[in-house]
C-alpha cells in the first residue's frame, strides 16, 4: 500500500488540469493536475479519484479539462476510475444550470443525480511504519495490541482495529499511534458496485453430437440420481434454452453433490455469467386501441404545434384519454430511434400507469425509481447511457439519467407538487428542469394535466408554450355531477365526518354494486387531542406542533419529525383524564365506515397503511378486481387511478383544503378536488361527487362544481398579479435555522436588513413560519419576490448569495443554517 501511494504521487506531472466536481456541499469546483499517464483517460464525465481536505479521498466527476495552468499550486489526480464517461456533456450542463438556478452547489446536484454506488467510499487503513522498530514498551495496553497486530499484518482496516479492541470509538487511540510514529493513515477507495453473477449449467461440447449423447445415456450403469439430474437438465435445456444452477436443482430435486459428480465426470460444466438484476419483460409492442375523433384531433394538433414550439401543454379533462395520446406519441418517437422519458409525480403511487405502459411497450420500457436498490440503479443507468434502453418511466430523479439521443419528455400531471424536491438540495422542480434539459437535445416536451399549474397555463396563453385542449371524456361520458353539502346544517355534535346525504349516497352506490372513494387529507385517528378541563394540547417536544393520535399503534405521532409518544391518560397540566378528540383522520373514518356499512370490505390508503415495496400496488389491484367496496385515503387516492366501477367520490373536509395560509391554497384546493372528483364515473355512466364544507359560498367550490378551470384561472391570476406572486414574480424563500431562538431571530433581522440595501422593494419579512420549530431547530423565513426581468435572474441570485455569505462572516451567526428555496411552492 505504501509503495502504491508513492507511485501515485510521484507520477510525472502533465501539462493539463481537470476541474473536478466533488460530491460535497462546497461552493465551487476544484482544479487538479492530470498526470501524463492519465492524459488520454481524463475526459469530462469520467470519475477521478482525488484527495480533498487532508487525507480524505473522493470520487469526483471531471467537469472539464484545460491546458491553462492555474495561478495556485494544485494536487494531482490519483486515478481515473472509468474507461468511458458515465455521463455526457448534456448532463454536466444540466448540473451546472441547476446549481446556478436553484442556488446550490454542483456537488449537491451530483449527490442527487448519481446512484450511490457511483460515489465511492474511502476506507481508512492504518499502515505500519517500518521505522518504528519492534519496541512497544512505551505504549499502553490498547496501543500495544494494535501495534503488535500492525507489526504482524503491516496494515489494518479501521473495522479490524474496532474488532481488536471491541470498541467503536477508536479515533483518539489511532491519533496517539500516529503521533508516536507507529503508523500512518491511508484512505483507500472502495468500489461498491459489483455485477451480479449466476451459475449456468452447460453440456460438455462432446455431447452436442447426438450419437455421443445417446451412447452416454444407453451405457449408464451407476449413479441413478445423477442420471435423473442429467435427464432433467436435458429437458430444461430443450424447453427454456439456458439453464441456471438454482433452477435445475429446484426443479429436479437434486443436490449440489450430485451436480458436482456430473461436473467431475466432464459431462456438465458450470459457467459463471453476469446477469441483470432487473428482470425485463418480453420485447414487444402492442398498441391495441383506436383513437376517438377528439383524441385524433388532439394528437394531430400536438404534432402540428411541435413544428414551431418545443413545449406543448395538453389540458385534458379527467377521463379524456390523455394516456392513450401519450402512448401514440411515444410510439412515434421510439420508431424514429429517439429516447423517450415519461415523468410521473410519484412512481410508487402510479402502479396502474406502469402496468398499462408495459402492456403496450413490454420490455422496451424501463422503470426507474427510488424503490430500486443501488446496484439495480447502476445497471439501468448504464443501459440508458449505452442507448440499449430507449424508453424510461420514472419519478423526478429519472431526469438525471444519461440520455444520449433524447427526443421527447412527457410530464404527466405536470401540476403536481411532488415534482418539486424539498430536502435536501437541489430543491428543483422536475417539470421546469425537464424543459431546460430537453432544450439541450433539441427535444420536445409535452406537459399534461386536467388542472394545469397557473404558471404553465399562463405560459401557454402568452405564447411561450403551445396549448392543446381535450375537453370531452372518452366514450362521451359526462363529467361527474357535484353536490355540495353544508355541514353547518347537519345536526351532529362536533365536526361532521359523514353527513346523512353522503351516507345515503354511499349506500345507494353499494346497493348498485358500485365502488366508493372517500378523500380526507389527514392521516391518523384524531389530528389532535385537547384536555376537556384546562385546554392542554399534547405537543412534540422537538417541534412546535400538536401530536396526532394513531389508533393502530395507540400512540401519539409527530408528522414533522417522526417522534412517537405514549397515549396520555391523565393531563400533565391539570391531572384530568377528560380528553376531547378533535377533528378526524383516515383511521377514524375507516372505523366509522366499518360501523355504518357492516359486511362491506373497506380499505385505507395513506402513508401509515402503505408499507413495503409492493403494498400500494397490491391494494390498487384489490380495488381494481372489486375485492374492496370503499377506499378511504389521503392525496394518494387522487393520483393516477382509473377504476371502472367507482360511481361515487366523497370529499369529507373541503374547508381544510381551503384554509391553508399560502398563496397557492386556492390553486391546490381546486386541483385536489377536481382531480379526486375525476375518479368517479369514468366508464359507462356519469359519476357523482359529494363535497362536505361549511364555507359553501367559497368561490373555489363553485368553480369545482362547474368543472370550470378557465374561470378559476381568470380570477386567481388577477389576485397573483395584484399581490406580485408567480407567474408575475419569482419566489425565493430563505429559511434560517438554529437551536437557539434568539440567535435565529437576530440572524434573520440582520440578513433581511442587509438584503433590503439591494432588494428593498422585493423583501417580505423576516417572520416565523406557522410551525416555528422542527427537530429542535427554530425557524425564521424571509420571502423574496424577484421581478422576471430578462437576464437578471442570475444577477439577483448572486446578490442574495453574497448577503448570505456576509451573514456567515459574523461569528455570532456562523452556526445558523440558511436554506434557499427557489420557486418555493
Residue 150 burial class via C-beta count within 10 angstroms: exposed 0-12, middle 13-18, buried 19 and up: buried
pLDDT of residue 612: 60
**CB–CB of 311/377 below 8 Å?**
no
pLDDT over threshold 90, residue 199: no
pLDDT at residue 485 is higher than 70: yes
Average pLDDT, rounded, for the chain: 84
Residue 786 and residue 461: Cα distance in Å, rounded?
Answer: 22
Residue 640: C-alpha distances to residues 161, 314, 676, 727 (Å): 52, 16, 10, 27
Q: Are strands 481-486 and 688-693 parallel, antiparallel or unpaired?
A: parallel
* Residue 371, pLDDT score: 66
pLDDT band, very low/low/confident/very high, at 718 (cuts 50, 70, 90): very high
Number of Cβ within 10 Å of residue 761's Cβ equals: 8
Confidence bin at 640 (pLDDT 50/70/90): low
Residue-level pLDDT at 7:
32
Higher pLDDT, 426 or 165: 426
Angle between the N-to-C axes of helices 141-153 and 158-165, in degrees from 0 to 180, rounded to the nearest 10: 130
Paired residues of 271 in beta bridges: 200
* 210-219, 275-284, 382-391, 491-500: range with lowest mean pLDDT: 275-284
pLDDT at 241 over 80: no
Task: Answer yes or no: is pLDDT of 71 > 70.
Answer: yes
Say which DSSP state 790 is in: T
**Which helix H or strand E contains 141, and what residues bound it?**
helix 141-153
pLDDT for residue 743 is more than 90: yes
Mean pLDDT is highest, among 316-320, 430-434, 599-603, for 430-434
Q: How far apart are CA 737 and CA 776, in angstroms?
A: 9
Whether the predicted pLDDT of 379 surpasses 50? yes
pLDDT > 90 in the chain, percent: 28
Query: Quick one: CA torsion of 759, 762, 765, 770, rounded to 10 degrees?
Result: -140
Q: How is residue 535 annotated by DSSP?
A: -
Give the pLDDT of residue 252: 82
Q: Examine the pLDDT at 499 and tell me if it is beyond 50.
A: yes
pLDDT band at 400 (very low <50, low <70, confident <90, very high): very high
Mean pLDDT of 203-220: 82
**Which CA distances in Å does 521 have to 311, 583, 604, 629, 638?**
33, 12, 12, 20, 10
pLDDT for res 9: 40
Spatial neighbors of 13 by CB under 8 A, at least 6 apart, are 33, 35, 36, 76
Question: With 60 as the cut, is the pLDDT of residue 3 above it?
Answer: no
Question: DSSP H helical segments within 548-691, as ranges?
Answer: 586-596, 615-624, 654-658, 665-677
Is a pLDDT exceeding 70 seen at residue 383? yes
Mean pLDDT across the stretch 766-778? 84
Banded model confidence at residue 494, pLDDT cuts 50, 70, 90: low
| Residue 462 predicted with pLDDT over 50 | yes
The predicted pLDDT at position 4 comes to 35
pLDDT band at 415 (very low <50, low <70, confident <90, very high): very high
- 302 and 329 Cβ atoms separated by less than 8 Å: yes
pLDDT at 423: 83
pLDDT of residue 238: 80
pLDDT tens readout for residues 692-716: 888 888 899 999 999 999 999 999 9
pLDDT at 187: 65
The CA–CA distances, whole Å, from 535 to 507, 538, 565, 577 equal: 38, 10, 19, 12
Per-residue confidence band for 813, with pLDDT thresholds at 50, 70 and 90: very high
| Residues 102-158: tens digit of each pLDDT | 999 999 999 899 887 787 756 677 888 888 888 888 888 888 889 988 988 888 887
Residue 659 has pLDDT above 70, yes or no: yes
Task: Quickly state the pLDDT bin for 370 (edges 50, 70, 90).
Answer: low
pLDDT tens track for 331-357: 999 989 899 999 998 765 567 788 788
In sequence order, which residues have a C-beta less than 8 Å from that of residue 730 and are 6 or more positions away? 785, 786, 787, 788, 793, 822, 823
Asked if residue 440 lies in contact with residue 399, where contact means CB atoms within 8 angstroms, the answer is no
Give 79's strand partners.
49
CA distance 724 to 783: 12
Q: Are 46 and 86 in contact (CB under 8 A)?
A: yes
Residue 609 is predicted with a pLDDT of 56
Output the CA–CA distances (angstroms, integers) from residue 501 to 486, 487, 598, in the order listed.
10, 10, 18
How many Å apart are CA 464 and CA 658, to the nearest integer? Answer: 30
Alpha-carbon distance values, 86 to 119, 386, 518 (Å): 12, 10, 46
What is d(CA 281, CA 303) in angstroms, rounded to the nearest whole number? Answer: 30
Per-residue pLDDT, averaged over 406-432, amounts to 92
457 vs 142, more confident: 457
Amino acid at each position: 500500500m505504501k509503495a502504491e501511494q508513492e507511485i501515485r504521487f510521484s507520477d510525472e506531472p502533465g501539462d493539463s488540469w481537470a476541474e473536478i466536481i466533488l460530491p460535497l456541499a462546497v461552493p465551487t469546483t476544484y482544479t487538479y493536475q492530470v498526470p501524463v499517464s492519465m492524459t488520454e483517460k481524463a475526459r469530462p464525465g469520467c470519475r477521478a479519484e482525488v484527495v480533498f481536505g487532508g487525507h480524505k479521498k473522493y470520487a469526483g466527476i471531471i467537469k472539464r479539462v484545460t491546458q491553462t495552468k492555474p495561478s495556485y499550486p494544485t494536487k494531482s489526480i490519483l486515478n481515473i476510475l472509468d474507461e468511458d464517461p458515465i455521463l455526457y456533456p448534456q448532463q454536466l450542463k444540466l448540473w451546472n444550470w441547476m446549481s446556478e438556478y436553484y442556488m446550490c452547489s454542483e456537488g449537491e446536484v451530483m449527490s442527487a443525480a448519481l446512484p450511490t454506488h457511483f460515489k465511492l467510499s474511502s476506507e481508512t487503513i492504518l499502515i505500519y511504519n517500518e521505522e518504528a522498530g519492534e519496541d512497544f514498551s512505551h505504549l499502553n495496553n490498547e496501543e500495544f495490541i494494535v501495534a503488535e497486530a500492525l507489526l504482524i499484518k503491516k496494515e489494518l482496516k479501521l473495522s479490524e482495529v474496532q474488532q481488536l479492541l471491541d470498541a467503536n470509538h477508536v479515533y483518539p487511540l489511532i491519533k496517539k499511534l500516529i503521533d508516536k510514529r507507529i503508523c500512518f493513515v491511508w484512505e483507500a477507495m472502495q468500489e461498491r458496485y459489483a455485477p451480479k453473477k449466476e451459475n449456468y449449467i452447460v453440456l460438455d461440447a462432446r455431447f452436442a453430437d447426438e450419437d455421443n449423447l445417446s451412447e452416454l445415456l444407453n451405457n449408464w450403469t451407476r449413479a441413478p440420481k445423477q442420471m435423473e439430474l442429467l435427464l432433467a437438465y436435458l429437458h430444461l435445456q430443450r424447453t427454456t434454452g439456458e439453464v441456471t444452477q438454482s433452477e435445475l436443482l429446484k426443479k429436479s430435486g437434486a443436490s449440489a453433490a450430485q451436480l458436482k459428480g456430473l461436473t467431475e465426470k466432464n459431462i456438465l460444466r458450470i459457467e459463471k455469467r453476469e446477469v441483470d438484476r432487473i428482470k425485463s419483460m418480453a420485447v414487444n409492442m402492442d398498441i391495441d386501441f383506436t383513437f376517438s375523433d377528439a383524441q385524433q384531433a388532439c394528437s394531430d394538433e400536438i404534432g402540428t404545434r411541435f413544428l414551431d414550439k418545443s413545449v406543448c401543454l395538453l389540458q385534458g379533462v379527467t377521463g379524456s384519454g390523455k394516456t392513450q395520446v401519450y402512448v401514440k406519441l411515444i410510439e412515434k418517437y421510439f420508431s424514429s430511434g429517439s429516447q423517450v422519458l415519461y415523468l410521473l409525480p410519484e412512481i410508487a403511487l402510479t402502479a396502474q400507469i406502469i402496468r398499462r405502459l408495459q402492456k403496450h411497450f413490454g420490455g422496451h420500457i424501463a422503470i426507474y425509481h427510488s424503490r430500486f436498490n443501488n446496484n439495480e440503479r447502476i445497471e439501468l443507468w448504464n443501459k440508458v447511457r449505452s442507448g440499449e434502453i430507449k424508453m424510461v418511466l420514472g419519478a423526478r430523479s429519472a431526469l438525471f439519467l444519461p440520455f444520449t439521443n433524447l427526443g421527447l419528455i412527457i410530464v404527466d400531471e405536470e401540476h403536481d407538487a411532488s415534482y418539486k424536491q424539498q430536502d435536501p438540495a437541489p430543491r428543483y422542480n422536475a417539470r421546469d428542469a425537464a424543459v431546460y434539459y430537453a432544450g439541450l437535445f433539441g427535444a420536445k416536451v409535452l406537459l399534461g394535466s386536467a388542472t394545469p399549474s397557473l404558471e404553465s397555463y399562463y405560459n401557454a396563453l402568452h405564447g411561450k408554450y403551445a396549448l392543446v385542449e381535450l375537453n370531452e371524456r372518452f366514450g362521451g361520458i359526462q363529467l361527474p355531477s357535484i353536490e355540495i353539502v353544508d355541514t353547518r346544517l347537519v345536526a351532529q355534535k362536533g365536526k361532521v365526518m359523514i353527513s346523512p346525504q353522503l351516507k345515503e349516497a354511499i349506500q345507494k352506490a353499494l346497493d348498485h354494486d358500485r365502488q366508493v372513494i372517500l378523500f380526507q387529507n389527514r392521516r391518523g385517528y384524531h389530528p389532535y387531542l385537547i384536555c376537556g378541563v384546562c385546554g392542554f394540547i399534547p405537543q412534540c417536544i422537538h417541534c412546535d406542533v400538536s401530536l396526532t393520535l394513531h389508533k393502530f399503534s395507540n400512540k401519539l405521532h409527530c408528522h414533522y419529525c417522526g417522534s412517537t409518544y405514549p397515549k396520555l391518560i391523565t393531563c400533565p397540566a391539570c391531572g384530568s383524564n377528560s380528553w376531547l378528540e378533535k377533528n378526524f383522520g383516515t383511521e377514524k373514518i375507516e372505523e366509522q365506515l366499518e360501523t355504518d356499512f357492516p359486511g362491506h370490505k373497506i380499505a385505507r390508503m395513506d402513508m401509515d397503511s402503505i408499507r413495503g415495496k409492493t403494498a400500494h400496488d397490491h391494494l390498487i389491484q384489490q380495488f381494481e378486481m372489486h375485492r374492496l367496496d370503499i377506499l378511504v385515503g389521503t392525496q394518494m387516492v387522487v393520483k393516477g387511478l382509473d377504476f371502472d366501477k367507482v360511481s361515487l367520490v366523497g370529499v369529507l373536509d373541503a374547508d381544510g383544503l381551503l384554509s391553508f395560509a399560502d398563496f397557492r391554497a386556492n390553486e391546490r384546493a381546486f386541483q385536489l378536488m377536481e382531480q379526486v372528483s375525476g375518479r368517479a364515473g369514468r366508464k359507462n355512466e356519469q359519476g357523482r361527487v359529494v363535497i362536505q364544507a361549511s364555507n359553501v359560498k367559497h368561490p373555489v367550490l363553485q368553480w369545482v362544481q362547474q368543472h370550470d378551470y378557465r374561470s378559476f384561472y381568470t380570477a386567481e391570476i388577477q389576485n397573483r398579479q395584484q399581490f406580485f406572486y408567480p407567474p408575475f414574480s419569482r419566489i425565493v424563500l430563505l429559511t434560517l435555522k438554529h437551536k437557539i431562538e434568539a440567535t435565529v431571530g437576530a440572524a434573520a433581522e440582520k440578513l433581511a436588513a442587509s438584503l433590503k440595501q439591494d432588494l428593498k422593494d422585493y423583501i417580505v419579512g423576516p417572520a416565523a413560519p406557522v410551525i416555528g420549530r422542527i427537530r429542535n431547530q427554530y425557524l425564521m423565513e424571509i420571502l423574496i419576490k424577484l421581478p422576471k426581468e430578462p437576464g437578471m435572474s442570475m444577477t439577483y441570485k448572486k446578490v442574495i448569495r453574497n448577503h448570505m455569505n456576509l451573514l456567515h462572516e459574523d461569528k455570532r451567526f456562523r452556526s445558523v443554517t440558511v436554506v434557499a428555496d427557489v420557486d418555493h411552492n
